[in-house]
Amino acid sequence: MIQIADMSKKLIFIVGSPRSGSTLLERMISSHPAVAGGPEPHLLTPLAHLGYYENIDKAPYDHLRAVAAQREFVNMLPNGENDYLTALRAYCFFLYSQQLKQAGEGKTYVLDKTPAYALVLPFIEKVFPEGKFVVLTRHPAAIFSSYAQSFFEDDWQAAHDFNPIIERYIPAIARFLQESHCPKIHFRYEDLVLNPAEYMERLCRFLDLPFDSSMVEYGKPGIPQRKGLGDPIGVNQHTRPVTTSIEKWVELVQRDSQKEKLLRKMISFNSPDEYRTLGYDPETLLEPLNRQDEPEKGQVGKTVAKKKKKRGKTNTFTWERRVLHLLRKNIHRNSLGKLVKKTRFFCDVLLR
């Protein structure tokens, strides 16, 4: 029998957008002897869209009828929505408890780091009102610059067309910080990497755990490294947090007027109060662009060209992203797209 009352207080959720440093934070927290971490499970996002709260846009069944049917069914249960939430908890608690069991002796917390959870936070708070939430925010320009570089070969427009993460994640996380009553603690990425020991000590007090230095030296020998979704590049380049990525975005934007134009448009979408809630002054958000030394006239092209030749270390992750980026271009209009659609049609016919 699953002990729901016991398990509900053993869950830690990292809340943060993609490329906010959440993989780094996950690695640091899960280095604590009492915490069982791991790769992103994406356990809760499908549950949030089963139909009772939110529904998916496309599925191999009539999702609109399923929504109505589920709500009618849940309303017939003795305790209505509470019975539905209890069932969802039972499903999750069993899987989380198995993760805790697999992690071995001494583990008292399960850590779940899945950036997409930031978009379904009201649902997660309903299911786990006693869970502990660690909210990580980062300068929006740094987030989007990292996102475009990691997945779209630094093509900002393509990255924004695919997923406008600044417009989607900042309001959702700000609303959670403003309105949620669940146990939570908020860190800024910039503060975390500058003073990692201080912030890990704060986190341990929040979790009622003794501080362990391995949380800062997360990459030292003896601490297991895991594979899975997340950032397998930056976080594995170092054994502890570094500050080199804090304003890495500045030079990239400063040398490209189109990037700056798009960045300002993205920034203006959200309210000043939302940025303040996340820990950033909206009046000085783009001030680093003015503080940096401007390149000499006539040198911009040479510098950019030189930088384009210099690529970071390649690995399976970067090659996968480059190939996907190339294949996605005009996929709905080119010959490859037509072939993929035709192949999918025949596969559907054969497998139905």
Give the DSSP per-residue string, 297-317.
TTTHHHHHHHHHH------HH
Please name the residue that has the structure tokens 């997409």: 116
30 closest CA partner among 83, 106, 97, 86: 106
Quick check: helix, strand or coil at residue 266? helix
Residue 296: its pLDDT value, please?
Answer: 45
One pLDDT digit (tens) per residue for the chain, 352 residues: 345 556 778 899 999 999 999 999 999 999 999 999 887 888 888 888 887 787 777 666 676 777 788 888 989 999 999 999 999 999 999 999 988 888 888 899 999 999 999 999 999 999 999 999 999 999 999 999 999 988 888 899 999 998 999 999 999 999 999 999 999 999 999 999 999 999 999 999 999 999 999 999 887 766 555 554 555 555 566 778 888 888 899 999 999 999 999 999 999 999 999 999 999 999 999 999 987 554 444 444 444 444 444 444 555 555 666 676 677 777 888 888 888 888 987 887 887 7
Rounded Cα–Cα distance for residues 141 and 269 (Å): 13
Burial class of 35 by CB neighbour count within 10 A (0 to 12, 13 to 18, 19+): buried
Rounded Cα–Cα distance for residues 14 and 27 (Å): 11
Q: Residue ranges of the alpha helices (H) in the chain?
A: 4-7, 22-30, 44-48, 63-76, 81-103, 121-127, 140-151, 156-162, 165-179, 189-194, 196-207, 248-254, 257-269, 272-278, 288-291, 300-309, 316-328, 335-351
Cβ atoms of residues 281 and 275 within 8 Å: yes
Quick check: helix, strand or coil at residue 167? helix
Residue 200: its pLDDT value, please?
Answer: 96
Q: Interior CA angle at 266 toward 260 and 268, to 5°? A: 100
Residue 219: its pLDDT value, please?
Answer: 77
Q: Which residues contact 27 (CB under 8 A, 6 or more apart)?
A: 37, 218, 219, 235
284 — phi, psi (to 5°)? -115, 15
Rounded Cα–Cα distance for residues 97 and 7 (Å): 7
Rounded Cα–Cα distance for residues 122 and 8 (Å): 16
